[in-house]
């Protein structure tokens, strides 16, 4: 099975694709809205403040130290 991303330029093409789907030759799936960006927005909305670059760097270094000290 091949997966393609297609930009439809003419609305007539949508009808053709739906006809192919009804004939069970293709399957049409809408892209999921629950992607990385929506998760990021959700996490940011519950946070009181955004961490600074220094805070992020300190946390990353701390986790690296834990991982490599094992």
| DSSP conformation letters of 5-35 | -----SHHHHHHHHHHHHTTS----PPPS-S
Q: For position 34, what pLDDT does the model report?
A: 66
Q: Is the entire prediction scored with pTM above 0.85? A: no
- pLDDT tens, residue by residue, 20-65: 999 999 999 887 766 777 777 888 788 778 788 898 899 999 999 9
* pLDDT tier for residue 4 given thresholds of 50, 70 and 90: confident
How far, in Å, are 8, 12, 22, 27, 32 from residue 19 at the CA level?
15, 11, 5, 11, 23
- Residue 31 Cα distances to 6, 48, 52, angstroms: 12, 31, 33
């Amino acid at each position: 099975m091949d997966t393609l991303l297609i930009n439809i330029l003419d609305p007539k093409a949508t009808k053709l694709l739906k006809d192919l789907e009804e004939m069970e030759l293709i399957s049409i799936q809408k892209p999921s809205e629950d992607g990385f960006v929506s998760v990021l927005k959700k996490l940011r909305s519950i946070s009181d403040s955004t961490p600074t670059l220094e805070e992020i760097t300190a946390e990353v270094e701390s986790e690296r130290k834990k991982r490599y000290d094992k």
